[in-house]
Amino acid sequence: MNYQSAEFIISAAKLKDCPADSVCEVAFAGRSNAGKSSAINTLTRQGQLARTSKTPGRTQLINFFQIAEQQYLVDLPGYGYAKVPMKMKNNWQIHLEQYLNVREPLAGLVLVTDIRHVFKEFDQMMIEWARANELPLHILLTKSDKLKRGGINDALSKARRQVEGMDASVQAFSSLKRQGVDVLANKLDSWFVA
| Measured distance CA(189)–CA(171) in Å, rounded | 15
Does 35 participate in binding ligand GDP (rule CB under 6 A)?
yes
Asked if residues 139 and 109 have their Cβ atoms less than 8 Å apart, the reply is no
Asked if residues 125 and 155 have their Cβ atoms less than 8 Å apart, the reply is no
Length of the chain: 194
Tell me whether residue 76 or residue 130 sits nearer to ligand GDP (CB atom).
76
Asked if residues 51 and 37 have their Cβ atoms less than 8 Å apart, the reply is yes
Count of residues that bind ligand GDP according to CB under 6 A: 16
Judged by CB under 6 A, the residue of 11, 60, 171, 175 near ligand GDP is 175
DSSP state of 23: S
Does 174 participate in binding ligand GDP (rule CB under 6 A)?
yes
Does 73 participate in binding ligand GDP (rule CB under 6 A)?
no
Judged by CB under 6 A, the residue of 36, 95, 138, 187 near ligand GDP is 36
Q: How many helices (H) and strands (E) does the chain have?
A: 5, 7
User: Please, how many CA atoms are within 13 Å of residue 193, restricted to the half-sphere of its CB?
Assistant: 8
Does 77 participate in binding ligand GDP (rule CB under 6 A)?
no
| Measured distance CA(51)–CA(31) in Å, rounded | 16
Tell me whether residue 14 or residue 146 sits nearer to ligand GDP (CB atom).
146
Does 117 participate in binding ligand GDP (rule CB under 6 A)?
no
Residues 124-153, one symbol each (x = binds ligand GDP by CB under 6 A, - = not), give ------------------xx-xx-------
Amino acid at position 67, single letter: I
Does 30 participate in binding ligand GDP (rule CB under 6 A)?
yes
Binding footprint of ligand GDP on the chain (CB under 6 A): 30, 32-38, 78, 142-143, 145-146, 174-176
